[in-house]
Amino acid sequence: MEKDNYSKELEVAVRVVHMACALCIRVQERLLSTSAEHVKAKDDDSPVTVADWSVQATVSWLLSDIFGSQRVSIVAEEDTKAISGVDSEGLLEAVVNTVNESLASAPKYGLQSPEETLGTSEILSAISWCSSTGGPTGRHWILDPVDGTLGFVRGDQYAVALALIEDGQVVLGVLGCPNYPTNKEWLNYQHQISQTTSQLSPRTTDAWEKGCVLYARKGSGKAWMQPLICEDKMLEWPNYARLIQVSSIDDPALATFCEPVEKANSNHSFTAGLAYSVGLRNQPMRVHSMVKYAAIARGDAEIFMKFAKSGYKEKIWDHAAGVIIIEEAGGVVTDAGGRPLDFSRGVYLEGLDRGIIACSGVTLHEKIIGAVYASWDSSNL
């Protein structure tokens, strides 16, 4: 792959994710200070907020404006069903206001604002444009507007994830982590605190003062991280980036492993048994969202394991951006059979062998794969 391949797409994606993170920060602060209004439950009982729809509409409008609405295919999580009814007028109004507020700041991020304020129908259309199902051919943007919405509404970890797939291969990924703390130990501490109070504002102490945006391009062998940059400095965004690499730890006894917070789609008991058999001695770091991928890419953790319960299907937007960032930072991501994840088969990671394993290096990865084969038959999955 030539050096300048996807350079424009990557720059646009980084700017868009910075802008989306700023939107999320504003919405989260309002939610934490005014209770849980403007939060709804989806059919699977998972929460969805003003931020989810607003980010999706904002990113959709920007990508379509820059690359042409007739040729931009976007695969994203949300639809307009829950905000189109009469009982959701207040929610829809909040989304419209939030999107226009965000788009008005676009020039400060080196992007173009609409010539006029967008109306309700235009914003609903922008959300609805994200209805592609991807596939093995063509170019598809993959968006998770707020990955880890449960963490978002609790004042905990969440991420904005944007990736680009070309002919079934992830070619770039950007991961915005607005609440990623300076010290990795705060990841666990923040989760513990959020279990007892939903009023924790993660940006009230120096530890939370800045989140980060991570990004990578396929074949570069490099992954980068920037602090969340204030708007007046965004025009010079490359000057604030630094290279990141995975950890060099390959001793399981010293390794830190991550797993999802939610038990509904992850088997903690199997993971605990697997960790013990491999020799992992540290307690698991349970973190909402793709921040787990960021932790490995940044060198704050060495392993991420997820084994979903029977019937659960992994979506590509929950993994695409994080996978390429870890790989370009020097890590390894496969299914539990050791095969690369297949992003070419639509919205779901079809053909996934048992679970997902991400590691900072080959040594740890091989040990875990071996332990999976040894332990699987006796598990209750």
Q: CA dihedral defined by 68, 163, 52, 32, rounded to 10 degrees?
A: -130
Q: 71-110: buried (b, 16+ CB within 10 Å) or exposed (e) per residue?
A: ebbbbbbbbbebbeeeebeebbebbbebbbebbeebebbb
Looking at residue 188, the DSSP 8-state letter turns out to be H
Is the four-CA dihedral 231, 236, 238, 244 of positive or negative sign? negative
Counting other chains too, the contacts that 91-96 makes at CB distance below 8 Å and 24 or more residues apart are 91/38, 91/40, 91/50, 92/120, 92/124, 94/38, 94/50, 95/50, 95/53, 95/54, 95/57, 95/123, 96/120, 96/123
Helices and strands in the chain, H and E counts: 10, 14
Catalytic residue among 49, 58, 98, 149: 149
Spell out where 237-331 has E strands: 242-244, 257-259, 285-286, 303-306
Please state, in angstroms and rounded to a whole number, the distance separating the CA atoms of residues 232 and 234: 6
Is 77 annotated as belonging to a binding site? yes
Catalytic annotation on 353?
no
**Tokens 């950007």 sit on residue:** 174
Catalytic annotation on 149?
yes
Is 144 annotated as belonging to a binding site? yes
Q: What is the CA radius of gyration of the chain?
A: 20
Contact 98, 27 (CB under 8 A): yes
In angstroms, what CA-CA distances link 171 with 6, 151, 196? 8, 28, 40
Is 147 annotated as belonging to a binding site? yes
**Tokens 């235009």 sit on residue:** 122
Spell out where the chain has E strands: 39-41, 47-49, 74-76, 139-147, 159-166, 169-177, 212-217, 223-227, 242-244, 257-259, 285-286, 303-306, 332-335, 356-359
- Residues making up the annotated binding site are 77, 144, 147, 318
Catalytic residue IDs: 52, 149
Annotated binding-site residues for Mg(2+) read 77, 144, 147, 318
